[in-house]
């Protein structure tokens, strides 16, 4: 009887420990992803200032006459990073389309999601 109880206790304890470890691992992953997001968005900001701001305005406020990029409209049109990125890579900058590298496109895409206070979904 005592042995069975001990066995049960051990089983419960290992479940708790395992659960905790999995949670910690998951948190670490989320934190790592968020860090990458922030790094890419920061790179995107610099690119944006250099290549996009004249037309789309500081922070995407539309001051240059091109569409506003920070009022969520653009993310209604291009709902995923993949779609937004594809548009940017093929159409932007409007003065020189098709010149952005894949990394630059990704960085700019993350930056635009950030301008709209959105974190890109994990996939898509
Ligand atoms: C020479 C001016 C100009 C520059 C530079 C420019 N854009 Fe644009 N952009 C436009 C115009 C005009 C449109 C609207 C016409 C269109 O959709 O092709 C547009 C549209 C967009 C859209 C779609 C907006 C929407 O709501 O449909 C995105 C996203 C965008 N630009 C991102 C960028 C990024 C990122 C850069 C920098 C790499 C950039 N643009 C540089 C003029 C510019």
- Residue 80 covered by a domain: yes
**pLDDT in the model for residue 12:** 85
- Residue 9 covered by a domain: no
- Residue 67 covered by a domain: yes
Closest atom, ligand 1, to C-alpha of 104: 38
Give me the number of domains the chain comprises: 1
The sign of the dihedral angle between the CA atoms of 115, 100, 80, 87 is: positive
Closest atom, ligand 1, to C-alpha of 51: 37
- Residue 28 covered by a domain: no
58 three-state secondary structure: helix
Q: What range does the domain containing 85 cover? A: 35-115
- Residue 76 covered by a domain: yes
55 lines ligand 1 (CB under 6 A): yes
Residue whose token pair is 């890109």: 120
pLDDT in tens, the chain (124 residues): 577 888 888 888 888 888 888 877 777 777 767 666 777 778 899 999 999 999 999 999 999 999 999 999 999 999 999 999 999 999 999 999 999 999 999 999 999 999 999 887 665 4
The C-alpha atoms of residue 23 and residue 109 are separated, in whole angstroms, by 29
Q: Taking a C-beta distance cutoff of 8 angstroms, is the pair 105, 85 a contact?
A: yes
62 lines ligand 1 (CB under 6 A): no
* Per-residue tokens: 103: 């990394």
- Residue 6 covered by a domain: no
Please tell me the total number of residues recorded for the chain in this structure. 124
Evaluate if pTM is beyond 0.75: yes
- Residue 82 covered by a domain: yes
66 lines ligand 1 (CB under 6 A): yes
**pLDDT in the model for residue 40:** 74
Which run of H or of E encompasses 47?
A: helix 2-51
């Amino acid at each position: 009887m005592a042995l069975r109880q001990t066995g049960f206790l051990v089983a419960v304890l290992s479940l708790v420990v395992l659960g905790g470890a999995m949670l910690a691992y998951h948190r670490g992953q989320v934190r790592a992803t968020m860090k990458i997001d922030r790094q890419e968005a920061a790179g995107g900001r610099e690119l944006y200032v250099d290549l996009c701001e004249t037309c789309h305005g500081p922070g995407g406020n539309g001051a240059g006459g091109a569409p506003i990029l920070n009022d969520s409209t653009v993310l209604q049109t291009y709902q995923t990073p993949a779609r937004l990125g594809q548009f940017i890579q093929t159409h932007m900058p409007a003065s020189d389309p098709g010149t952005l590298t894949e990394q630059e496109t990704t960085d700019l895409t993350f930056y635009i999601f950030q301008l709209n206070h959105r974190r890109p979904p994990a996939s898509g």
